[in-house]
Amino acid sequence: MTKMQTGTTNKLEIRSILQENYGQVLEDELLDKIANVGSHRIAQPNDILIDMGEYIKTMPLLLRGAIKIIREDKEGHELFLYYLERGDTCAFSLTCCMGNKKSEIKAVVEEEAELILIPMQYMDEWIKEFSSWRNFVFQSYNLRLEEMLSAIDSIAFLNLDERLMKYLIDKVKVTNDTLLSNTHQQIADELNTSRVVVSRLLKQLERQGKILISRNKIEVLNF
């Protein structure tokens, strides 16, 4: 992991942050254990938490912010898959750590993110010990599998203009801001298309009154 700030090391403080975010889902005894072994981190927008081909050694619990999950092919073409938000964990970290495999995705911070990182060795142990942990882990798998299928839907079944609009709306939802500061090039990269095409489609969406384009900003009006 790169460029990450160490957050608080106070176990009591971590315990109370966990209670606030995961108190509904995970039992007290488990939260105590997580507070004990987990480390607290703050990551800034555009930080790369994990890159393709790296080994994942910890499992992240997201407390705040948003993380973008991106697939990359050998030639460096990118494709946006989905966002992780508060209360989520990354199913890829689960499969990778289990099999001690390299990461198949890239995780980039979208909104300043607060995380608890749990060393992988506890995964197995807790699955046997805590039914809430088991539910949480398999629920995460289910959710992510659904997200992947819906990513497939949008590439296979939607036209590029529909995908672009969906991409913008997803981003508005995750950032809680209708004003987006993506460049056209960045959007093109994540949708695996060209800047020229994206600019043309954005123009078209503007004419339809769905968005407003200004210098380095896109305002989403209709979502």
Question: Footprint of other proteins on this chain (CB under 8 A)?
Answer: 71, 73, 75, 77, 79, 81, 91-92, 94-95, 98-99, 104, 127-128, 131, 134-135, 138, 141-142, 144-146, 148-149, 151-153, 155-157, 192
In DSSP notation, 37-83 reads: H-EEEEE-TT-EEE-TTPBP-EEEEEEEEEEEEEEE-TT--EEEEEE
How far CA 193 is from CA of 106, 137, 204, in Å, comes to: 18, 34, 16
Query: Tell me, what DSSP letter sits at residue 87?
Result: T
**Distance of closest approach, residue 147 Cβ to other proteins, in angstroms:** 10
**Distance of closest approach, residue 91 Cβ to other proteins, in angstroms:** 7
Q: Output 72 or 219, the one with its CB closest to other proteins.
A: 72
**Distance of closest approach, residue 87 Cβ to other proteins, in angstroms:** 18
**Distance of closest approach, residue 126 Cβ to other proteins, in angstroms:** 12
Q: Output 98 or 196, the one with its CB closest to other proteins.
A: 98
**Distance of closest approach, residue 165 Cβ to other proteins, in angstroms:** 17
Q: Output 33 or 144, the one with its CB closest to other proteins.
A: 144
Query: Tell me, what DSSP letter sits at residue 26?
Result: S
Q: Output 5 or 135, the one with its CB closest to other proteins.
A: 135
Cβ 164 vs Cβ 171: under 8 Å:
no
Between CA 119 and CA 117 the distance in angstroms is 7
Quick one: which of 113, 118, 117 has its CA closest to 43?
Answer: 113
**Strand order across the 179-180 sheet:** 179-180, 217-220, 211-214
**Distance of closest approach, residue 42 Cβ to other proteins, in angstroms:** 29
Q: Output 134 or 217, the one with its CB closest to other proteins.
A: 134
Cβ 184 vs Cβ 120: under 8 Å:
no
CA 156 to chain centre: 22
